[in-house]
């Protein structure tokens, strides 16, 4: 997200130095939850999670947009990679203002991706191959085209208070309504939109087309529980909770958020112009998520619950709260974005900064919980571009062999790079909003371009005449087929590592860092 594309300095751990052999026991990571008999060593602890961005994976309908059948056709490929969980970014009904993160029906498949039958077939085919499937739950907001919002606009009960509505705080000299407070949308500009019909503002922490649901309304909580049940009853293996920190806002909507004073943010329309103590991480959010955990724990098999919390490294204590406690677990893990947050350039990468990043998570994680390692996703510059092409294999190796669950973004197994996308070809609203001069600071299109399967036209992503985002020009040499055929390659390395990490030793024992210097990062598992 735009809030995270900022530079950040690594806090080096001055105590680290050459030849320190520091042991970290990870037996505790395996400890059984006392209050949940079912919780053994769950399947997701042994698995690698692979994120598919459906629009960009494989198009079977020649319209230039990836689809469900395309994903199903590549399940054998995913299985051959040795991953265990396929996480699909949203494929639900959506006007696609935010490419599926604006949902107009939480329990329907968008026709651009296929049908419910296509989804059922995908799930069955994945399960037949021993793969689990996880999808996004996007609870913070719906599309403004969702029936609930349309009925809320019309004040039709019980939908009247399904969204966060507020009266104007006053009117200016020419009669324009003034919003209740100074809140800014994550994508930029005011977070409030006036609606003539209701003579009220509604809150949108993302796009205007993504009105915030009102989780202080118990009926909304029930609706979202029903959405979870719908998909899990179909056989889904878990959910990735989107933008969870935004779920609930302070009750008193006249509360302004403080200025951040960040010298790098001069534009008052930028999210970083303010800090966000009243729109993020409210205590009620954890209570609501805890209910989702309880709901999932009623199913006989373990269901995975992952939470997207924040990219702000300063908020590590807040992030850790989303694990819950041993007695009252919440998420199986909040995503560990420290490899994204701490590394913005090749020069940020040193033995010290890597060690700091690894230990920062392990040292702050609550007792009995399980780590995870994320190198990239659909909101962030790819690792090859951010941390260096020459480091991709080493970074994959590092995350695949550390204690915990690694998360791979599609294309990272071959070292795909960001793609230049001109303003004219840009699709991502979070970039386009800023116009031709600034769109590249915020656009997420470069990391969302089509999967590079082979060196045929459009990289084997589609048999149609074009693709929704341009294919990276390097596809001719950087593609799956080429790397499969080579003696040595990123993908071959990746497969060897996923095979290696199935060994029992990777799920217990100790972790130590024998040599750490500026140039060397090393660790041992024993
Ligand atoms: C999350 C998603 C991002 C989306 C936003 C709004 O951060 O990862 O892609 O734009 O939520 O739903």
With a pLDDT cut of 90, the percent of the chain lying above it is: 90
Q: Say if residue 4's pLDDT is above 80.
A: no
> Which residues have C-beta atoms less than 6 Å from ligand 1?
1, 98, 101, 138, 206, 242-243, 308, 378-379
**What is the per-residue pLDDT across 181-222, written as a single tens digit (0 to 9) for each?**
999 999 999 999 999 999 999 999 999 999 999 999 999 999
- State the Cα–Cα distance between residues 298 and 132, nearest whole angstrom: 18
pLDDT category at 31 given cuts 50, 70, 90 is very low
Nearest CA residue ID for atom 9, ligand 1: 379
Residue 9 confidence (pLDDT): 31
Residue 33, Cβ density class (10 Å: 0-12 exposed, 13-18 middle, ≥19 buried): middle
Query: To test the ligand 1 pocket, which listed residue (243, 245, 334, 442) has its Cβ within 8 A of the most ligand atoms?
Result: 243
Give backbone dihedrals phi and psi of 141, rounded to 5 degrees, phi first: -150, 165
Residue 7 confidence (pLDDT): 31
Length of the chain: 526
Q: Are 240 and 137 in contact (CB under 8 A)?
A: yes
**Dihedral sign (CA 69, 71, 77, 78):** negative
pLDDT category at 39 given cuts 50, 70, 90 is low
Distance 7 CA to ligand 1 centre (A): 20
**What is the per-residue pLDDT across 105-135, written as a single tens digit (0 to 9) for each?**
999 999 999 999 999 999 999 999 999 999 9
> Does the annotation mark 173 as catalytic?
no
Q: Are 42 and 302 in contact (CB under 8 A)?
A: yes
Distances (CA, A) of 64 to 79, 127, 449: 25, 28, 11
Has this prediction a pTM greater than 0.85?
yes
Residue 508 confidence (pLDDT): 85
**Residue 193 three-state SS:** strand
Distance 4 CA to ligand 1 centre (A): 12
174: its two tokens: 């020419």
**Residue 123 three-state SS:** helix
């Amino acid at each position: 997200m735009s809030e995270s594309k900022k530079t950040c300095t690594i806090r080096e751990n001055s105590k680290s130095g050459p030849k320190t052999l520091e042991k970290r026991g990870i037996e505790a990571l395996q400890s059984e939850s006392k209050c949940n008999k079912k919780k053994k060593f769950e399947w997701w602890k042994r698995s690698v999670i692979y994120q598919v961005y459906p629009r960009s994976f494989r198009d079977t309908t020649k319209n230039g947009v990836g689809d469900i059948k395309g994903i199903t056709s590549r399940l054998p490929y995913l299985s051959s990679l040795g991953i265990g969980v396929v996480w699909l970014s949203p494929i639900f009904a959506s006007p696609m203002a935010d490419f599926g993160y604006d949902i107009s029906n939480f329990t329907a498949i968008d026709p651009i991706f296929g049908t419910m039958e296509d989804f059922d077939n995908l799930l069955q085919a994945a399960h037949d191959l021993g793969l689990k499937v996880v999808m996004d739950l996007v609870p913070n907001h719906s599309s403004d085209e969702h029936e609930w919002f349309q009925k809320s606009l019309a004040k039709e009960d019980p939908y009247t208070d399904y969204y966060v509505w507020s009266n104007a705080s006053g009117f200016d000299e020419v009669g324009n309504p003034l919003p209740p407070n100074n809140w800014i949308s994550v994508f930029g500009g005011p977070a409030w939109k006036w609606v003539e019909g209701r003579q009220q503002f509604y809150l949108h922490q993302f796009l205007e087309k993504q009105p915030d649901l009102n989780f202080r309304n118990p009926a909304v909580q029930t609706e979202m529980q029903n959405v979870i049940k719908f998909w899990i009853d179909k056989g889904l293996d878990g959910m990735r909770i989107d933008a969870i920190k935004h779920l609930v806002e302070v009750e008193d909507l006249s509360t302004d958020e403080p200025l951040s004073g960040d010298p790098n943010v001069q534009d008052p329309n930028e999210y970083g112009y303010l800090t966000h103590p009243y729109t993020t991480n409210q205590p009620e959010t954890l209570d609501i998520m805890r209910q989702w955990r309880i709901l999932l724990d009623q199913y006989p098999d373990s269901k995975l619950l992952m939470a997207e919390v924040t990219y702000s490294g300063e908020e590590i204590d807040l992030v850790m709260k989303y694990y819950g406690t041993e007695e009252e677990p919440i998420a199986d893990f909040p995503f560990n974005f420290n490899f994204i947050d701490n590394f913005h350039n090749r020069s940020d990468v040193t033995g010290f900064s890597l060690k700091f990043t690894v230990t920062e998570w392990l040292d702050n994680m609550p007792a009995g919980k399980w780590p995870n390692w994320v190198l990239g996703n659909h909101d962030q510059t790819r690792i090859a571009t951010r941390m260096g092409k020459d480091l991709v294999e080493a970074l994959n190796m590092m995350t695949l062999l550390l204690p915990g669950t690694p998360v791979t973004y599609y294309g990272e197994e071959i070292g795909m790079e960001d793609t230049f996308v001109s303003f004219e070809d840009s699709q991502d609203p979070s970039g386009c909003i800023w116009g031709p001069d600034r769109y590249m600071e915020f656009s997420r299109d470069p990391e969302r371009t089509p999967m590079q399967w082979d060196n045929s036209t459009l990289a084997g992503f589609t048999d149609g005449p074009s693709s929704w985002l341009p294919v990276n020009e390097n596809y001719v040499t950087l593609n799956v087929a080429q790397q499969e055929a080579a003696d040595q390659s990123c993908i071959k390395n990746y497969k060897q590592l996923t095979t290696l990490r199935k060994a029992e030793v990777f799920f217990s024992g100790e972790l130590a860092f024998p040599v750490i210097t500026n140039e060397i990062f090393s660790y041992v598992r024993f």
